[in-house]
Structure 1
């Protein structure tokens, strides 16, 4: 089983003057990560919402329409960059028209680009109350589990990681690494996501990679104007990993890229010889029994 050197970003919401500056900044981060040996890089949720800082303040519906107009450019840019640099790129999430939705219905969708041209996508499955009320967004309906050179992976976007059932379904389908692009604008939201990332790693004995937005724009935007994050690669809190379950983490709220190595042989060693085995010792029969009791009550 191969080792994966993965780069995960604390993407800074700096003031930009043009779309060209936005795309060039991303390309620089990707090339720097590839130059340091990373085979995959993870950008955060709402990455392209940074482009809204170039426009007058918009209502959420207008912002979705505006971002959707960048979809073709977004896909073309990242597909080419992945091929040129020989690195898989999870290009954060992008607001785009729902494929099977009605006119004006949008999804918050992750795109993972591979150097060979393959693209895996995942629409966010659990929308936050704000996304349900203020944004014209619809939730995705299916979990995409996909093969990579390192093992099976899935993408759980921000709020998705706070639902243990979803990560357990992914693990039962063979996932060994969860990619979690996130956007949290304060310490409360960040720590909810961070602690859930680590809980999902412990419960399912797998890797979880977290990225997020940091910094603040000079002018407020109703959609995305500030971020709070400490990105990292997390593991079970058990041998052969470190006691705190952290392989690598960034410096809080600093615009930076975190490089870490995920050794999937160590993960399988943990599953076979760890002090505890929560993935294997679960009691589905008990849970189903208790669930049926609550339904009757």
Structure 2
């Protein structure tokens, strides 16, 4: 009940703090000069950038804008035509809300109590859909509030700050920005949604996360039921989210749809382990013969640790050291910006002897049964 009471107090602050006109005005006061990076596009030299962003809760919209502006300006100055931000990049704006830390603390305390109770009752070990629904219901009961209610309440505010910031930055610098993702409510469902903005400031497309982690399932998020590829001046781009790269099917589907660049924004809540990190974008790029971009959220907040190295990846024979890595962050827990160029024309004739063999008849025989639910 405390959470609901505090949310009601927040209501009168939302409009002013998330006012799109004020955000646009602040960005325009920086007198940004269009980079011109997209005035001439050579498929043999597409310049891309990925952000490794240290997590921080922003106190006001100016802090949020300044951080995103800083990364975007550096990328544009280095010739980037496309820049990618990490998963949960939009969630950072929650720090702008009064009492948000108290609300999170109350919810965390109650969640911990529910987890202990579930563990004692041997319910937390289950990973079935029913178990996740049970934990979701338990959290709702113990906190007195449904996560879907919180995000439906906050979605207009979060979306205003997030979308206005990146729309204006993309338009001002004249480049493509994959802004990362944010949890919002849409048509009664919670989704983890990533956005791509074009150089005109318009949304080119969005992609909801298709493979949810346990925490997201416990919160009641809905998984995407489609994967999309978008035509841009810098090639055919897709941007599934984080865990989507753990499964080969994601990249296989996108490759069949013509994807040339697949972006993966991540926010891994785990200690960094090189071999564990290999479950994601690197093998998917080798299997699918696409360019891969990974942007990552790193650092620690409220005892939760985020790690992961941002980087640019390509099939082995298309990288300088024949290791599948074009460029990668030096650290796994500090802010960095990685920028390099890629050659899309090399994908047209690329064939790898280890990943090019196909056996369609075998697949037709077994795959329908493998994926039968």
TM range (shorter): 0.7 to 0.9
321, 344, 361: which is aligned to 1:264? 344
Matched, 1:289 2:289: no
* SS at structure 2 position matched to 1:175: coil
Distance 1:35 1:124 in 2: 31
Give me the CA root mean square deviation.
Answer: 2.4
311, 321, 331: which is aligned to 1:232? 311
Q: Structure 1 residue 62: deviation in Å? A: 6.2
Query: What is the aligned length?
Result: 282
Bigger mean CA deviation after superposition, 27-36 or 58-67: 58-67
Distance 2:208 2:274 in 1: 21
The answer (yes or no) to whether the contact 1:238–1:270 under 8 Å persists in 2 is: no
Q: When you count helix as a share of all residues, which structure comes out higher? A: 2
Pairs within 5 Å for 1:1-297: 1-14=43-56, 16-54=58-96, 55-56=100-101, 57-58=103-104, 59=107, 60-61=147-148, 64-65=151-152, 67-68=154-155, 69-98=157-186, 101-102=187-188, 105-119=189-203, 120-133=205-218, 135-187=219-271, 192-217=276-301, 219-220=302-303, 225-239=304-318, 242-252=321-331, 253-271=333-351, 274=352, 276=353, 278=355, 280-291=356-367
Distance 1:41 1:129 in 2: 29
Q: Structure 1 residue 243: deviation in Å? A: 1.6
Q: Which runs of 4+ in 1 moved over 6 A?
A: 293-296
* SS at structure 1 position matched to 2:220: coil
Greater C-alpha Rg: 2
Q: Structure 1 residue 45: deviation in Å? A: 0.3
Q: Structure 1 residue 189: deviation in Å? A: 7.8
Q: Structure 1 residue 235: deviation in Å? A: 0.9
Q: Structure 1 residue 203: deviation in Å? A: 0.6
Q: Structure 1 residue 75: deviation in Å? A: 1.4
The answer (yes or no) to whether the contact 1:184–1:190 under 8 Å persists in 2 is: no
* SS at structure 2 position matched to 1:270: coil
The answer (yes or no) to whether the contact 2:271–2:306 under 8 Å persists in 1 is: no
Distance 1:62 1:242 in 2: 50
Alignment CA distance shift 1:240-1:23 (3 Å): closer
Distance 1:129 1:112 in 2: 26
TM-score by length of 2: 0.69
The answer (yes or no) to whether the contact 1:67–1:94 under 8 Å persists in 2 is: no
Q: When you count strand as a share of all residues, which structure comes out higher? A: 1
Superposed CA deviations along residues 77-107 of structure 1, whole A, max 9, x for unmatched, are: 2111101011111111012222xx32xx211
Q: Structure 1 residue 269: deviation in Å? A: 4.2
Distance 1:136 1:79 in 2: 29
The answer (yes or no) to whether the contact 1:10–1:230 under 8 Å persists in 2 is: yes
Where structure 2 has 5 or more consecutive residues not aligned to the other structure, the ranges are 1-42, 108-146
Distance 1:32 1:291 in 2: 46
Distance 1:215 1:236 in 2: 29
Alignment CA distance shift 1:295-1:79 (3 Å): closer
